[in-house]
Amino acid sequence: MNNALVVIDVQESFRQLPDWEFVSQPDIVGQVNRLVTAARDQGDLVVWVLGSRPGSGTVFDPAQGHVRLMDGLESHPGEPLITKTAHNAFTTTNLHQILTSRGIRQLTVCGIRTEQCCETTTRIASDLGFDVVFATDATATTPIPHRDARQDLPFSRLVSDPRTLGVAEIVARTEYALAGRFAAIRTVDELVGA
C-alpha cells in the first residue's frame, strides 16, 4: 500500500451554513463513499480530516457538535481521523508523518471546499513530493460573493449578484490551477469505473 485517499472536511458543519443550499455537489457523501469503497477494496489507506476552530462559537467549533463526519460516512478502525485548524490538512496536523511512516507516495484528494481546503492541501502535498490526484467531482464548494459585496445581505441575495463567482467557474478555475502543476484531475468514474 503506497496510496492514500484523503477525505477533507466532509463534515456536518457545512450543512449548517446558509450557502449549503447552493453547493456544487449535493451528493458529496455518495461520491466520497464510492472513493472510500474503492480505496478499501484496493487496500489503500483512507485518512479522514475534519476542520475545527475551537472557541469560535461557529459551526466549526467542536463545542457546537457539528465537527463530525457527515451522516452517511463512517471511518473504519485503523483509518486515521485527524483534526486541523488550518485550511490545508498538513500544517497543523501529523498527516505528513502518517503518510511517510506508511510509505505512501500517491494521494487522492476529495472533500469540501474545492478551491480552499482541497486545493491548498493538494498544492502542499505536491510540494512535499507526493503524486496527487484531485477527484474533482468528489469535491464540493459554494458560490463566492464579491469582495465588495455587503456582508449583511442574506446569502440568497448575494448569489444573485452578478459579481458572485458561481460554483462551475470555481471548479473550472481550480482545475486549471492544479492540472499539470500540482495534480492530475480525475472524476470519480475515471478513478473507480462507471
Cell 485503523 sits on residue: 78
pLDDT digits (tens, 9 = 90+) for 73-109: 999 999 999 999 999 999 999 999 999 999 999 999 9
Q: Mean per-residue pLDDT for 174-188?
A: 98
**Between residues 16 and 156, which one has the greater pLDDT?**
16
Mean model confidence pLDDT for the chain: 96
pLDDT at 154: 87
CATH for 157: 3.40.50.850
pLDDT-based confidence at residue 151 (cuts at 50, 70, 90): confident
Question: What's the number of domains the chain is made of?
Answer: 1
pTM over 0.75: yes
pLDDT band with cut points at 50, 70 and 90 for residue 194: low
Can you tell me the distance from the alpha carbon of 58 to that of 157, in angstroms, rounded to the nearest whole number? 22
Domain that holds residue 28: 3-192
DSSP classification of residue 87: S
CA dihedral defined by 45, 127, 136, 75, rounded to 10 degrees? Answer: 20
Beta carbons of 107 and 99 less than 8 angstroms apart: yes
Burial of residue 51, with CB atoms counted within 10 A of its CB: 0-12 exposed, 13-18 middle, 19 or more buried: buried
